[in-house]
Structure formats: structure tokens, C-alpha cells
Structure 1
Amino acid sequence: MTQTDTIVAMATPAGSGAIAVLRLSGQDAIAIASSIFFSVSGKQLSNQKSHTVHLGQIKDSERVIDEALVTIFKNPNSYTGEDVVEISCHGSNYIQQEIIQLCLRKGCRMAQAGEFTLRAFLNGKMDLSQAEAVADLIASDSAASHQLAIQQMRGGFSSEIKKLREELLNFASLIELELDFAEEDVEFANRVEFQKLISKITQVLKRLIDSFATGNVLKNGIPVAIVGEPNVGKSTLLNALLNEERAIVSDIAGTTRDTIEDEIIIGGIGFRFIDTAGIRETVDVIEGLGIQKTFQKIDQAQVVIYLFDAEKFKVQRSKFKVEIETIKNKYPSKNLLIVANKVDKLSNEEIENLQSAIGNLHLLSAKTGQGVEKIQNKLLEFVNTGALRNNETIVTNSRHYDAMLKALEEIIKVQEGIDNGLSGDLLAIDIRQALYYFGEITGEISNDELLGNIFANFCIGK
């Protein structure tokens, strides 16, 4: 896959704004820009140095479209590795489209989704995992997802994979060399050192594979299901956590008949709160569907907040305890937060009795905000942020995760082959397959279909 033509696209979002940025990339980018841009200094863009900014007018023949700033980046010192020109114009939709249409008439074509980053990959400016991190960086909406994307874009993950692949490739070459001298029974690859390398690769792969569970939720947000019987204040809690009235609040039982989702940032970590329809027996068909969805959402959640009405605890003590035990038994691996709401209506003695009856209980008045901050802090405790704080490599991409699982499978076959004394030619088969999966991650092995699938998820202009 090669590109030799010149592409153009908006680098800023569609719509009106103070400023808009258009980007051109390709061998004729500077020549095309020179044909439509007239500097106030009278200088020709084609004669200017790289990384310089020029003020002038964008013209279609004698018609002035806009006054703009044009920035030049000459190859190979640009984002794509090609000649790149960025035009900063006023943010009128009309102006943006006029300049794009003018560039198209001068020989550009519209860029496809992610094509600028694709060209950066093809021109060796970044590997494939770094290119994918660009899309993650654009989509990041919390400090955690931003940090993960920055780390990957800087090559933290790919450098580990490349190092492993290089070391394994060196041993593979020696084993392949042994095959050429099979009749002479010589051994070029030190089996002791090879065994150490295989053990090292296995450990690193297992660590990276295990990190995906953390990386995936940090990237996409921690799903939290708020469950309990109807009218206990789940919607009020959601509004208190979100600090706005997003869910419908009513004294009528069963008001929330469907799940409501929203996301907030707590301590730099994204949490996706899901207010469900509650858990109870009902003859209402619509409400019954909502309750069915409650269990589906618990399945999907990493954290479950069980909320009950503190005022009703005296008369429904056994019911609440049964429901808590049901959730614990049905979802033993879930982080469970038990919360008693409406404690502002209880006396101190009633609160003490409540706390002695249920262990690890959190007191809340969703109406007044009492206890909301403590719940937020408790939610943060459920998140494994140690690796993030220590700047360890964390895998967030499912494609990388799948490739590493396959690579580990092949490495385990190599280990078994060594233990069973297999010949070099049989070991070489599994080693080649492991190298293939390593190469898929960084893009050293790729195909048009793979690249098309990856870059189709990018925005136009990036």
C-alpha cells in the first residue's frame, strides 16, 4: 500500500468556530498551497524553510476567500513524513468548504479516515501500535485514558514487544542456520540461553496480558451498576454523583423503568454509572423488562452499589439481608458497595443499630449529599491504579491482547518442544509463528485489510 498523491481534509471538527485548520499532505502539498496562497511579504511558499508560518490571503484567481496563516512542514520532518501544509483560516463553514474545493480543483483529493496517520505509519514515523494510540488519545476523556494513550504513543508498549521480537529473531536465525548444517550436527544456538529467553518472553507476555483487564476499564470507564428495590433513591444518588438532575426522580415506585447511563470523572478515572429499574417481583410487563435488564447490567458491571432505604430497614431487615447475600453469592467476583440511603431521617441510635446489623455499610443521604464523597473515594479504591501510578506498560487494545494471547500460545509450544528435545526444524515452525504475532502488533507484518480496519476508526483529518 503506497500513496503518492496529495490529500486534504479539515483537521478541526466540522462546524463554525473562531479558527479552522485544513491540512494538506503529499508530494505536491507545498506547490498546491503556493498556487492559492499569496503572502503579505511577497515570498513564495516553495522557497521557504520548513516549520515556518506565513501570513497572507487565500485566493481563487483574483477572488479573496480569506486571510490566513499557512505553516510549512517539509519532509521528512513532518507528522506524515511527507510535505505537509496547514492552513489556519477563519472558522466559517463557507470559508472552510471554499478552500477545500479550491484545493481539490488544484489537484488534491479528500483524505480518507485516518489517512494522515496511515501515511505516518507507512513512512516509518511511528509503528502500528503507536498509530492506534493516536486515535485513543483523541478519544480520551479522562486523565487515566489520556495517560495510557500518551504512554503507548511514545512507544512504551511497542518498545517492549520489539525488544522481545528482536531477541527471539536472533535465536531463530541461529536455529535456522543449524538446519543448513544438519548433517554436521553443529549447534549455533545456545540452548541454555535460549531457555532463559523463552522464560523471559513468557513472563513478559503474561504480565502484559494480565494488564489488559485493568487497561480496558481505565480506557473505557469503570461500569458501576446502582441496584436496589424501587424508590430507594437510586436516581437521586445518580444525580448527586453527577451533580445534576439527569435521572427522573419521583415518589412513585417504579419510575425508573429502564437503565440510565452517564459518566463522571473521579480522581482522573472515568466511571460509567448505570441506574437500573430495581429488583422486585412485578406483574407490570414493562417494569419486568427493566428488572431483567438490571441483572444484565450487573453482569456487565465491575462494581455494584446495592442501595436500600434506611427507614424501611426495621420492617424489612430480613428482605434486605437476603438480597445482599443473593448478590454476593450470584456475583462473588464483583466489588460490592452496600449503601443505606435516607439516613438523614434516622436518629443516632437507629444509625448505630443499622451499622451493627450490616457490616461494611456506607451511610448516605442522596438528598442532602451526605456520604457522597465517601462513596466516590470508595469507588476509587476498587480501581487498580498502581500500575498507572508506577508508569508500567498497560495494554488497552483488544487487537494487541488477542495477538499476545496467540504469541504466548506459540511460545508455550516452543517451551514444550525444548522440554521434549524436539529438533531445530520443528522448533523453528513455532518460533516463526510467534514472531508473526509479535510483528502484527507493531505493524512489521501487516496487510491492506488489517490497516483498513484499523484506520477506518479514525476521524477524517487525522
Structure 2
Amino acid sequence: MKLQDTILALATPAGAGAIAVIRISGKDAIDITTPFFKSVSGKKLSEQKSHTIHLGHIIEAKKTLDEVLVSIFKGPNSYTGENVIEISCHGSPFIQQEILQLFLRNGCRMANAGEFTLRAFLNGKLDLSQAEAVADLIASDNEASHQIAMQQMRGGFSGEIKKLREELLNFASLIELELDFAEEDVEFANRTEFKALLDKIQLVLKRLIDSFAVGNVIKNGIPVAIVGEPNVGKSTLLNALLNEERAIVSDIAGTTRDTIEDEISIGGIGFRFIDTAGIRDTKDVVETIGIKKTFEKIEQSQVVVYLIDSLKLAQDKSEIKNIRVELEKIKNKFPQKPLVIIANKTDQIPDTLKQFIESEINDIPGHNDKTKALLLAAKTGLGVEELKTILLNFVNTGALRNNETIITNSRHYDSLLKALQEIDKVQEGVAHEISSDLLAIDIRQAIYHFGEITGEITTDDLLGNIFANFCIGK
């Protein structure tokens, strides 16, 4: 695949704004722009140096369309590796369309989604994993996902993979050489060094594969289900966490009949809170559907927050038995899910009852490092910050703090798994001293899967699928 024509697109969001940026890329980008740009200095655009900005007007047949700034980036020292022009015009949708239509009539075509980044990849400015990180960077909506995307775009992940692939290629070439001298029974690839390399590759692959569990939730937000009986304060807690009136709050049990979701950032990590319908026996058809959805949301969540009504428990201490039953149902069905048990409305009960409730919820069976208990008052905000700290501690952010490579892309994860399977086969083959020709087959496959990640090995279909998810103009 080699793209030779000149493309353009609006690089800023559609709609009115202070300014808009129109990007043009291709070997003829500067020549196409020159006739329609009149610099205030009188200089000809095509004769100007790369990485310079020029004030002037876009003019068509003596009609001035707008006063603009034109930036020049000459290939190969540009984002795409081609000649690139960026026109900063006023943000009127009418002006934007006038300029776009002018260049569409004069040698340009509209860029496809992600085509500027595709050209950057095809021209060797980015490898494939770096190109994919561009889309992740644009989509990042919290500090953690931004940090991961930046690290990948700078080549941290691809650099690690390229180094392993290069070392494996060196040994592969030596093993292939042994095949040419099979009759002499010589060994060019030192098997001890080869075993050490395989151990190293296996260790790195397992670390990267394990990081996907953290990376995936950081990238997509960590879903937290807020559950409990009706009227315990689930919607009030959601509003307190979000610091806005997102959910309807009333004293009528069963007010929330469907799930309500919203997202906030805690310590740079995105958390998606899901306010669910209250769990109780009911004959209301709509509420029953809501309760069914509650259990579906618990299954989809990474963390469960279970609310208890302290006022109700203070009035009837035997209610703790029913709470234990409900919590045991959740723990038995979802034993691996972190659980936060919250006694809400504790600002409305005396301290002696607080001590009783705290003792009871801390004594609920199944307590471990994934189960925490907390006294809270959602209406006043008491304990909300402590809850945020507990939730953040459930996320393994050690790799993020240490700036380690974290995998967030499912395509990379799949290729890493396949590469590890092939490395395991090679290790087994070396241990059983199988012939070099059989070893070479599995080594080639491992190298192939490494190449899939960085783009040394690609197909037009694969590139089409990846870049179709980009925005226009990037």
C-alpha cells in the first residue's frame, strides 16, 4: 500500500469556534496551496523554509475567503513524512467549508479516518503500535490512560518488542545456518545462550500479558456497582461521588428503576459508577426488571459497593441477619470481586450504635484484603473521600507509578499470547533436543507475532480495521 495523492481534512472539531485548522498532506500539498495564498509579506509560499508560519489571505478569483496563518512542514520532516500544510482560519463553519471546497476542486481529496496517521506509519514515521497509541491519546479522559498512551506513543512498548524480536532473529539466522550444514552436524547457535534468551523473552511476555488486566480497566474506566436495598442512599452516594445531582433522590423506595452510570477520575484513574435498582422482593414488573439488571451490572463490575441503612439497623438490630444473607449471596456468586460494605446515614445515629454497626459489618464472613467496611454519610459527604481511597487501593497502580510498559490494546494482547505459545514450544523443543529445522518453524512463528504488533508484518485488511476507528483529520 502506497498512497501518492494529496489529502485534506478539518483537524479541529466540527462546528463554530475561535479558529479551525485544515490539514493538507501529500507531495503536492505546498504547490496546491501556493496559488491560493497571498502572504502579507509578498513572499511565495513554495519558496519558504520548512517549519515556518506565514500570515496572509486565502484568495479565490480575487475573492478573499479569510485571513489565515499557514504552517509549512516539508517531508520527510513532518508528521506524515510528506509535505504538510496546516491552515489556521477563523472558526466559522461557512469559512471552513469554503476553504475545504476550494482545495477539493483543485487537486485534493477528503482524507479517510486516520489517513494522516496511516501515512505516517507507511512512511516510517511511526510503527503500528505507536500509531494505535495516537488514537488512545486522543480518547484518553484521565491521567492514567493519558500516561499509558504517551508512553506507548514514545515507543516504550514497541522498543521492548523490537529488541526481543531482533535478538530472536539473530539466533534464528544461526539456527537456519545450521540447516545448511546439516551433514557436518555443526552447532552455530549456542544452546546455553539461546535458553537464556528464551527465558528472558518468556519473562517479558508474561509481564506484558499480565499488565493487560490493569491496562484494560485503566483505559476503559473501572466499573463500580453501587447496590443494596431500596432507599439506603445509593443515589445520594452517587451524587456525592460525582459532586452533582445526577440521580433522582426521594424517600420513596424503588425510585431508581434502571441503572444510572457516570464517570469520575480518582487519583488519575477513571471509575465508572453504576447506581442500580434496590434489591428487594417486589411485584412491580418494571422494578423487577431493574433488579434483574442490578445483578447483571454486578457481574460486569470490577468492584461492588454494598450499602446498608444505619437508621434501619439501629431500629432493628436483627436486620443484620438479612444483610448477612444478601452479602453471602454476592460473595458466593462473585468471590473474586472486591467488596466495600458501607453503613450509610451514620450521621443520624448515636456513637454507641455506630460502634455496634462497625463491629457487625467488620464481623461479616468472607472478610479478606478484597473486602473493606466503612461508616459513611452520603448526604453530608462524611467518609466519601475515604471511600475514594479504598477504591483506588483496589487498583494495582504499581506498574503505572514505576512507568512500566502496560498493555491496553486487545490486538497486542492477542499477539503476545500467540508469541508466548510459540516461545513455550521452542523451549520445550530445546529441552528435548529436537532438530534445528523443527525449532526454526516455531521461532519463525514467534517472530511473526512480534512483527504483527509493530507492523513489520501487516495486511491491508488489518490496517483498514485499525485506522477505521480513528477520527477524521488525524
Query: Which secondary structure does the structure 1 equivalent of 2:54 belong to?
Result: strand
Which residue pairs with 2:188 in the alignment? Answer: 188
Q: Kindly indicate whether the alpha-carbon contact (under 8 Å) linking 1:75 and 1:83 is maintained by their aligned counterparts in 2.
A: yes
Which residue pairs with 1:84 in the alignment? Answer: 84
CA positional deviation for 1:295: 1.1
Which residue pairs with 1:93 in the alignment? Answer: 93
Which residue pairs with 2:269 in the alignment? Answer: 269
Please say if 1:391 is aligned against 2:394: no
Return the alpha-carbon distance in structure 1 between the equivalents of residues 13 and 444 of structure 2. Answer: 44
Which residue pairs with 2:368 in the alignment? Answer: none
1:123-138 to 2 correspondences below 5 Å: 123-138=123-138
Query: Which secondary structure does the structure 1 equivalent of 2:457 belong to?
Result: coil
CA positional deviation for 1:371: 1.0
Q: Kindly indicate whether the alpha-carbon contact (under 8 Å) linking 1:74 and 1:82 is maintained by their aligned counterparts in 2.
A: yes
- One-letter code aligned to 1:199: D
Return the alpha-carbon distance in structure 2 between the equivalents of residues 36 and 313 of structure 1. Answer: 77
Which residue pairs with 1:305 in the alignment? Answer: 305
- One-letter code aligned to 1:419: A
CA positional deviation for 1:329: 2.1
1:121-270 to 2 correspondences below 5 Å: 121-270=121-270
> Structure 2: which 5+ runs fail to align?
363-371
Q: Kindly indicate whether the alpha-carbon contact (under 8 Å) linking 1:179 and 1:425 is maintained by their aligned counterparts in 2.
A: yes
Return the alpha-carbon distance in structure 2 between the equivalents of residues 98 and 204 of structure 1. Answer: 53
Q: Kindly indicate whether the alpha-carbon contact (under 8 Å) linking 1:225 and 1:303 is maintained by their aligned counterparts in 2.
A: yes
Q: Kindly indicate whether the alpha-carbon contact (under 8 Å) linking 1:313 and 1:320 is maintained by their aligned counterparts in 2.
A: no
CA positional deviation for 1:278: 2.2
Count of paired positions: 462
Query: Which secondary structure does the structure 1 equivalent of 2:332 belong to?
Result: helix
Return the alpha-carbon distance in structure 2 between the equivalents of residues 286 and 349 of structure 1. Answer: 40
Q: Kindly indicate whether the alpha-carbon contact (under 8 Å) linking 1:222 and 1:272 is maintained by their aligned counterparts in 2.
A: yes
CA positional deviation for 1:286: 1.5
- One-letter code aligned to 1:344: D
CA deviation map 1:278-300 (0-9, x unaligned): 22222222111111111111111
Query: Which secondary structure does the structure 2 equivalent of 1:358 belong to?
Result: helix
Which residue pairs with 1:350 in the alignment? Answer: 353
Return the alpha-carbon distance in structure 1 between the equivalents of residues 278 and 417 of structure 2. Answer: 38
Return the alpha-carbon distance in structure 1 between the equivalents of residues 41 and 361 of structure 2. Answer: 78
Query: Which secondary structure does the structure 1 equivalent of 2:262 belong to?
Result: strand
Return the alpha-carbon distance in structure 2 between the equivalents of residues 414 and 287 of structure 1. Answer: 57
1:338-377 to 2 correspondences below 5 Å: 338-359=341-362, 360-377=372-389
Give the TM-score of the pair, scaled to structure 1: 0.99
Which residue pairs with 2:462 in the alignment? Answer: 450
CA positional deviation for 1:69: 0.1
- One-letter code aligned to 1:197: L
Moved more, 359-368 or 450-459: 359-368
Give the TM-score of the pair, scaled to structure 2: 0.96
Which residue pairs with 2:448 in the alignment? Answer: 436
Return the alpha-carbon distance in structure 2 between the equivalents of residues 210 and 83 of structure 1. Answer: 41
CA deviation map 1:335-376 (0-9, x unaligned): 111101111110111111111112142111111111111111
CA positional deviation for 1:4: 0.5
Which residue pairs with 1:51 in the alignment? Answer: 51
Which residue pairs with 2:22 in the alignment? Answer: 22
Please say if 1:326 is aligned against 2:338: no
Moved more, 88-97 or 345-354: 345-354
Q: Kindly indicate whether the alpha-carbon contact (under 8 Å) linking 1:308 and 1:339 is maintained by their aligned counterparts in 2.
A: yes
CA positional deviation for 1:169: 0.6
CA deviation map 1:108-138 (0-9, x unaligned): 0000000000000000001000000000000
Query: Which secondary structure does the structure 2 equivalent of 1:252 belong to?
Result: coil
CA positional deviation for 1:326: 2.0
User: RMSD value over aligned CA atoms?
Assistant: 0.8
CA positional deviation for 1:309: 0.5
Which residue pairs with 1:119 in the alignment? Answer: 119
Q: Percent identity?
A: 73
Moved more, 357-366 or 92-101: 357-366
> Structure 1: which 5+ runs fail to align?
none
Return the alpha-carbon distance in structure 2 between the equivalents of residues 312 and 236 of structure 1. Answer: 17
Q: Which runs of 4 or more aligned residues in structure 1 lie more than 3 Å from their structure 2 counterparts after TM superposition?
A: none
Return the alpha-carbon distance in structure 2 between the equivalents of residues 60 and 363 of structure 1. Answer: 70
Query: Which secondary structure does the structure 1 equivalent of 2:312 belong to?
Result: helix
- One-letter code aligned to 2:94: Y
Query: Which secondary structure does the structure 2 equivalent of 1:407 belong to?
Result: helix
- One-letter code aligned to 1:53: I
Moved more, 439-448 or 330-339: 330-339
